[in-house]
Amino acid sequence: MNGFPGMGNFDPTKMDPAQMKQMLNLFSGMSDDQIKNTMKMMGIDMDPSIIRQFVDKLKNADDATLNQFKEQYSKGKVNMNSFSKHSKSEQKAKDAKKLIDENKLNEAIELCDKEINELKDLKTDDQKEKDEVNKILGELYDMKTLARYTTQDLDLCIKECQEANEKCPSFKVYNRLGTCFFKKGRHVKARDAFTKAKELFPNEKDEIADKYLKMALEEIENY
């Protein structure tokens, strides 16, 4: 195996730990434009966010860890294609948030849907990779349902929140589901969603959701 997929002759297995650290330190101090220009000089066309993800994974590693990485990579045990794909998806969740802030809601939803479809059926036996994918999926579902909620299409938001929680349960999405139910006057369903969020994620807090839950319980009691 020669080099990273899509990265030409850029081969970390030919570097000693000192050289790898020098490379990692070099990239960690660069802006995105500087990274992009440097990679172009090396004949590599790659999104700077992928390089940043790679740097973040290894920049604080000791010599033993770097040597272990080199050994795993030389044996084909490091799936850098998947690694690159995940870092791109993570960036897409951030891009979706920016689109929401700009009120480009349909664009945000389309962006999230595309990335979700690429990740949701991923097959891997690596638990760390599964955890990473689930984390990114959670962020994408959060942004998608936030964009949908902002359109005020509550019925569709309810449907999409339920679908999201079936595939990747999320504290924020359960609370968003509860908020939609509350605004539709379905107070029992709202209570159930808010309560489920607390049950699944006992360490998470949301004061606004707590207020909606309190109001839902009052409506149920007064019914």
How much is the pTM? 0.65
Site of tokens 């319980």: 217
- Of 34-38, 109-113, 133-137, 180-184, minimum mean pLDDT range: 34-38
Helix axes 105-119, 80-101, angle to 10 degrees: 160
Site of tokens 């990779």: 129
Percent over 70 (pLDDT), the chain: 86
**Per-residue pLDDT tens over the stretch 85-118:** 566 777 888 899 999 999 999 999 999 999 999 8
- CA-nearest of 166, 175, 163 to 201 is 175
Q: Is the pLDDT of residue 5 over 80?
A: no
Which DSSP string do the residues of 165-195 spell out, in sequence order? HHHS--HHHHHHHHHHHHHTT-HHHHHHHHH
